[in-house]
Amino acid sequence: MAQAPNVREVDAIVIGAGFSGLHATKRLTDMGLSVRAFDAAEGVGGVWTWNRYPGARTDSLHMTYCYSFDRDLLNEWGYSEVNPRQPEVLAYLRHVADRFDLEQYYTFGTSVTSAVYDEAAGRWVIETDHGETVSATYFVTGLGLVSAPLQPTAPGLEKFRGEVHHTARWPHHEVDFAGKRVAVIGTGSSGVQLVATIADRVGSLTVFQRTANWVAKTPNRPVGAAELDEIRQDYDTIWKRVRHHPAGWPWEMPTRSALETPPDERERVFEQQFEEGGFALLYNAFSDLSTDKAANDLLCDFMRRKIQEMVDDPELAAKLTPTHPYGAKRPPTTDGYYQAFNKPNVGLVDLRETPIEAFTENGIRTSAGEHEFDMIVLATGFDAITGAFTRMQIRGVGGRDLNEYWSDGPKTYLGLAVPGFPNMFTVAGPQTPFSNLPPGAQAQGSWISDAISWMREHDQAAMHPTEAAAEGWTALCNEIAESLPATSVAADANSWFTGANVEGKAVAYNIYFGGHGSHADLCDEEAASEYPSFAKIPALVEQPA
């Protein structure tokens, strides 16, 4: 049922036009619900509309960086590379929106600024930055894990007279690097992809590194028509594997232990999986790399030697080598990052030795002096996972403020719903698994629409998880993260996984590290048992006069 943009009362409000929001919108409208959907961007695409910096591409594998709910959609779409570039992923999402006619539900260029639950009416009332007020029975967010960009904390950026670009707000026009003195602040996935891509285009490049990162090779190469055909024949197996894999990859987990494998053989396997690229090193080499600190140390030792091979200057290689376990920060994937530092025009500033004190008219002043630039690129990441929620005002039953409720870290049940916020559901929200995003977003959006169908069939006006359920889920998230060598805060990686990258933010386990497969199992069990962890608010049944 199409909704003209001026309709103020609908069944469901959706925020987001990325993988999460688009699919939720499709599911809800397929059920016959009226939907108003919003996105701050000017069109569909989510993170892929904003993060269009040179070198931006997914490091998920092409054949699963998509939805699986429609076999025709799968068969008619084929990415041209193993790790598709940003324009191709954006084209895919536009194709999905066109094919299922989803844009009609969206108001673009519009941010939702507040969402307040009207208890008496049993409705969510949202306000936008364009002054519109819309109410709905159901409120579904697909805000994205990494959608609230972080600015550097040092003062004076506004004084800088050159160009400033944030990787997550990259301009739509071509940025000219030729001959320019460019600074890149940040060495996460965005920073390393950008550095590897522009190192040959700039006059000079200075990388400001706060925390070094383990950077994997990319498995990228073109994908041909014959290979795509084979993949299409194999989709049943591929999606079955994705459903059960901890990170939503089309792989089986290995059974051999790194600790129990003889050194020569272990080295051979590490080498092979390093060459394979991307997440193969972490997931396909050995069974215990994520679970056993001593096994993870062996992987770090292997990578340390790799960095020493790739970087000519041993001192520089040491600075580029992380001290945290492999996987404690999400390992970026790109080719040519370490090698870029062998070029005479590329340098590193280690911010642990010489922190940034201020931005100046001409560049950046560290404790060691001023560096002059024509352009500063901020690859400084995000107030991830919770930031997109806490930058809005969201109030539930009794005026409960989500920001206050989450002041020590998020509290949800299954990462899908929050006590005191009836009929608010979150796709890819806090305390969901960190995995290949499209399969997770699809599974969670389906779970949510199924829950809404169930309520409608069972005369339930609303539901929200009990406090006990959310406390139990939070305790489980904490317990799992604590038990793993890379995800425990003891790994001390300044990771956006825990919010440690944001000054003043509560450090908490914001992700369910039990894995995509186990999360899907728990969600299925909850639904099959008719949502026992949720408090239900029955619909008022009209009495005969």
Binding site for ligand N01 (CB under 6 A): 58-59, 146, 150, 152-153, 167, 185-191, 193, 208, 210-211, 330, 332-333, 351, 356, 379-382, 494, 496, 501
Q: Which residues on adjacent β-strands are paired with residue 139?
A: 13, 424
Q: Toward ligand N01, which CB reaches closer, 110 or 501? A: 501
Q: Calculate the CA 90 to chain-centre distance.
A: 16
Q: Toward ligand N01, which CB reaches closer, 47 or 136? A: 47
**Minimum gap (Å) between residue 351 Cβ and ligand N01:** 5
Long-range CB contact pairs, 82-88, < 8 A, 24+: 82/219, 82/220, 82/221, 82/222, 82/223, 83/57, 83/58, 83/59, 83/218, 83/219, 83/220, 83/278, 83/333, 84/57, 84/58, 85/56, 85/57, 86/48, 86/51, 86/52, 86/56, 86/57, 87/52
Look at residue 369 and give its three-state secondary structure: strand
Q: Toward ligand N01, which CB reaches closer, 21 or 188? A: 188
* Residue 182: partners with Cβ closer than 8 Å, 6 or more residues away: 198, 202, 203, 204, 205, 206, 373, 374, 375, 376, 377
Burial of 399 (0-12, 13-18, 19+ CB in 10 A): exposed
Quote the tokens at residue 183: 């600074």
**Minimum gap (Å) between residue 155 Cβ and ligand N01:** 11
Three-state SS string over 2-46 comes to CCCCCCCEEEEEEECCCHHHHHHHHHHHHCCCCEEEEECCCCCCC
The Cβ-side half-sphere exposure at 17, using a 13 Å CA radius, reads 33
Q: Toward ligand N01, which CB reaches closer, 364 or 463? A: 364
Q: Toward ligand N01, which CB reaches closer, 3 or 167? A: 167
**Minimum gap (Å) between residue 73 Cβ and ligand N01:** 22
Question: Closest residue (Cβ) to ligand N01?
Answer: 188
DSSP assignment string, 228-278: HHHHHHTHHHHHHHHHHSTTS-SSPPP---TTTS-HHHHHHHHHHHHHH-T
Q: Which residues on adjacent β-strands are paired with residue 391?
A: none
Burial of 465 (0-12, 13-18, 19+ CB in 10 A): buried
**Minimum gap (Å) between residue 529 Cβ and ligand N01:** 33
**Minimum gap (Å) between residue 488 Cβ and ligand N01:** 17
Element (H, E) at 337: helix 337-340
Question: How far, in Å, are 223, 240, 250, 279 from residue 61 at the CA level?
Answer: 11, 15, 9, 10
**Minimum gap (Å) between residue 489 Cβ and ligand N01:** 14
Q: Toward ligand N01, which CB reaches closer, 327 or 420? A: 327
Q: Toward ligand N01, which CB reaches closer, 64 or 460? A: 64
**Minimum gap (Å) between residue 93 Cβ and ligand N01:** 15
**Minimum gap (Å) between residue 511 Cβ and ligand N01:** 11
**Minimum gap (Å) between residue 57 Cβ and ligand N01:** 6
Q: Toward ligand N01, which CB reaches closer, 151 or 237? A: 151
**Minimum gap (Å) between residue 334 Cβ and ligand N01:** 7
Phi, psi of 354 (to 5 degrees): -135, 85
Query: Running DSSP on this structure, what letter comes out for residue 62?
Result: G
8 A C-beta contact, residue 364 and residue 370 = yes
Quote the tokens at residue 296: 């993870």
Burial of 486 (0-12, 13-18, 19+ CB in 10 A): buried
Q: Toward ligand N01, which CB reaches closer, 247 or 356? A: 356
Q: Toward ligand N01, which CB reaches closer, 40 or 47? A: 47
Nearest to 51 by CA among 337, 377, 431, 428: 377
Q: Toward ligand N01, which CB reaches closer, 277 or 420? A: 277
**Minimum gap (Å) between residue 12 Cβ and ligand N01:** 28
Q: Toward ligand N01, which CB reaches closer, 115 or 311? A: 311
Quote the tokens at residue 186: 């940040």
Q: Toward ligand N01, which CB reaches closer, 89 or 258? A: 89
**Minimum gap (Å) between residue 448 Cβ and ligand N01:** 23
Scanning 370-500, the segments in alpha helix (DSSP H) are 387-390, 402-405, 437-457, 467-483
Q: Toward ligand N01, which CB reaches closer, 501 or 533? A: 501
**Minimum gap (Å) between residue 212 Cβ and ligand N01:** 8
**Minimum gap (Å) between residue 353 Cβ and ligand N01:** 13
8 A C-beta contact, residue 303 and residue 328 = no
Rounded Cα distance between 506 and 498, Å, is 8
Three-state SS string over 275-286 comes to HHCCCHHHHCCC
